[in-house]
Amino acid sequence: MQHRVAAIGGDGIGPEIVAAGREVIDAAGERYGFDVAWTDFDIGAERYLETGELLTEEDIRELSKFSAIYFGAIGDDRVKPGILEKGILLAIRFHFDQFINLRPIKLLDGVATPLANKRPEDIDFVVVRENTEDFYVGIGSRFAGRREEKTLEVVRDLYNVKFGLDVETDADELAYQIGIITRPGAERAIRYAFDLAERREKKVTSVDKANVLSDVYGLWRDVFTEVAAGYPGVATEFNFVDAVTMWFVKNPEWFDVVVTPNMFGDIITDLGAMIQGGLGLAPGGNINPTGTSMFEPIHGSAPKYRGQDVANPLATVWAGSMLLDHLGEHEAAAAVLRAIERSILDGYVTRDMGGAKKTSEVGRYLAGLVKTV
Amino acid sequence: MQHRVAAIGGDGIGPEIVAAGREVIDAAGERYGFDVAWTDFDIGAERYLETGELLTEEDIRELSKFSAIYFGAIGDDRVKPGILEKGILLAIRFHFDQFINLRPIKLLDGVATPLANKRPEDIDFVVVRENTEDFYVGIGSRFAGRREEKTLEVVRDLYNVKFGLDVETDADELAYQIGIITRPGAERAIRYAFDLAERREKKVTSVDKANVLSDVYGLWRDVFTEVAAGYPGVATEFNFVDAVTMWFVKNPEWFDVVVTPNMFGDIITDLGAMIQGGLGLAPGGNINPTGTSMFEPIHGSAPKYRGQDVANPLATVWAGSMLLDHLGEHEAAAAVLRAIERSILDGYVTRDMGGAKKTSEVGRYLAGLVKTV
Ligand SMILES: CC(C)[C@H](C(=O)O)[C@@H](O)C(=O)O
Ligand SMILES: CC(C)[C@H](C(=O)O)[C@@H](O)C(=O)O
């Protein structure tokens, strides 16, 4: 069996951690009888600085031939914040309609959590983040387009009418941002969460702020309620996003599957990463079940550690396990996760986790473990 | 010296905790030579259920005669989420242009935090939440107004153009929410934060998501940078909101003054409340320095504990300390906070904090302490 996988190392520590992850995946393949044909893509800050290209038409055409992309990280101090993130990472998510951002929040054995009195059995849930709508659509006062002026006028009018004011039309005086949720967009994410919950502890928590942002999250709640009716065996609850940040810290054991719109998903999964031991251990999958999906550590490119072979590869290796799951290699995926757990218990870890091993050493160690663990 | 203060007990446990808070404030007045004339307002779920009234013209006219409102909590199981919050709490904040929501995050001596290895000296900062703009303006697809259809059309067009789609105009298929940040609105909140930092540790952290929601938070950052230039003695940094939730948990000692737009402020102050020991200990001030300000516990009305005399009044009493500060009674304000600390060390606390005292007992105890502590 051969799988073809695209690899985007990206910037900073990205190439090193992806190299480690590939080694582990390849070793798992040897054990479980599959082979991965890797195709490298040179996408990231370097190319952008040289050619001005972010994600090109050709990148898209070529990437669309793969069902999985293994992604390192992007971000570079020489580029203004937002350019690479929007032009590459979000562009891939949106272009390939990767409507699910899947984030396991799981405290592995032997990992230190900043929370007092919480053990691995207390922290084990999954966040399903909607990944193509909400305030990530990138529409607002600075969005270049021929309708620009007309919108600014309309929004300004609404604002002035609502508050009885008379603010200038000037985009520099009044900035606006438009978030959008569509019924089909909400539905497919919520349905995914319920399907997942049926295979887990059968509980779904919707996180929103429908008491204040009632326009978009009101629709989200309506759709949630409708979808829930089709899963009578799954328990449901609504949490407001402000409150949920408290419960993640106080009662993580309450959660099984959490489903939430894009922006709140971004926020609560970083908090989730921290309670599971930090960004060094947090993977994510950007999933389009019938198209091209992308698996990545959720941390950034840490430019200052670039080329030093010190970055913690575990989040990337874990993302590799999710990638294998996505490819249907469930046994291999489980073995990779067991190898990660084993290496942590062995203390064979990088500096950030209290060890002294190099990125490449951890990769090699895990590649060895995955063949037997 | 006499101060006139408006009191809105509100719903659920609201009246009980405000009663406790008033007792403490009155006692502080005896010691520090001022007297508070309280005026009660009957605003909340009961009246709404009887008369359909939320915040009336007359309420506004009467409340505007006060420079401070002491607010308990609103919220009732018989009313749909959002109605009372928007119709009363947010209505007061917006109507009286209470553009600052001030939230001390401070772990008091003797209080348990859910964070491992953090002590009172590690958790002591202030969040300045902008309180009248951002996604709280309440403008979106369900906002009733004569321009409704026109906006829906424009937003739908933008969305379709951007993504090459052809989504229906139907508001039930496509919901949108518009957030607005104005230059003067951002500026006054940010300036307040810098002025505060000058009286503290001289560091301001701006929390936004300018890498993705670049339209509104791009303007926010521009204004932040401009204002910062006028405070060369104050250190500054930018944090993304997702990352800041991690640092609150991992490194709360980094922060001095945190300034952030309304919605992210809502989220991170709940997380802040949890690290300082939970909602039972988290006060907030909604401040208009030249108008009518409002002080409240940030927790809700906990309807199921209504009338049982078991609710923890400490957040409300602490809000009372902030109210006294606002009225210029700085010594009394400090004494109230000392009394709270004393009562905690004495173990004279309610059930949620591991004690066995009633709401009214704690109020009485604090009123006694505040005269000598
Ligand atoms: C880098 C940034 C654009 C991205 C996001 O906001 O989605 C990141 O925070 C993430 O969670 O993957
Ligand atoms: C009750 C709700 C409308 C309110 C808010 O979102 O501002 C609350 O969460 C708060 O923080 O005061």
Express each pLDDT in A263-320 by its tens digit.
999 999 999 999 999 999 999 999 999 999 999 999 999 999 999 999 999 999 999 9
Amino acid at B59: D
CB B54 within 8 A of CB B47: no
For residue A144, the model assigns a pLDDT of 40
Ligand 1 atom nearest to CA at A86: 3
For residue B176, the model assigns a pLDDT of 87
In this structure, which residue's CA is closest to atom 5 in ligand 1? A266
Whether B266 lines ligand 2, by a CB cut-off of 6 Å, is yes
Average pLDDT over residues B120-148: 83
Chain A residues with CB under 8 Å of B274 CB are 245-246, 249-250
Rounded to a whole number of angstroms, the distance from the CA of A367 to the nearest CA of chain B is 31
Q: Do A214 and B114 touch (CB under 8 A)?
A: no
- Of all ligands present, the nearest one to the C-alpha of A93 is 1
What does the pLDDT look like over B313-322, one tens digit per residue? 999 999 999 9
Instruction: List alpha helices for B129-261, DSSP H.
Output: 148-163, 183-198, 214-229, 241-250
Mean pLDDT, chain B, integer: 94
What does the pLDDT look like over B213-250, one tens digit per residue? 999 999 999 999 999 999 999 999 999 999 999 999 99
**What is the CA(A108)–ligand 1 centre distance, in A?**
23
* Pair type for strands B100-106 and B235-240: unpaired
Average pLDDT over residues B186-193: 98
For residue A54, the model assigns a pLDDT of 96
What does the pLDDT look like over A351-369, one tens digit per residue? 999 999 999 999 999 999 9
Q: Which of B132, B248, B142 is nearest to B182 (CA)?
A: B132
pLDDT band of B147, cuts 50, 70, 90: very low
Position B211 pLDDT exceeds 70: yes
| Residue A171 exposed, middle or buried by CB count within 10 Å (0-12, 13-18, 19+) | middle
For residue B166, the model assigns a pLDDT of 67
Give the 3-state secondary structure of residue A310: coil
Average pLDDT over residues B148-163: 68
CB A41 within 8 A of CB A88: no
Could you give all domains of chain B from N- to C-terminal order, each with its CATH number?
Answer: 1-101+278-373 (3.40.718.10), 113-140+176-276 (3.40.718.10), 142-175 (no CATH)
Average pLDDT over residues B83-105: 96
Average pLDDT over residues A34-38: 98
pLDDT band of B140, cuts 50, 70, 90: confident
Average pLDDT over residues A92-96: 96
For residue B66, the model assigns a pLDDT of 97
pLDDT band of A173, cuts 50, 70, 90: confident
For residue B342, the model assigns a pLDDT of 97
Which pair of tokens denotes residue B106? 């401070």
Which pair of tokens denotes residue B216? 């509104």
Position A165 pLDDT exceeds 90: no
> What predicted TM-score, i.e. pTM, was given to this entire model?
0.96
For residue A150, the model assigns a pLDDT of 64
Average pLDDT over residues B339-345: 98
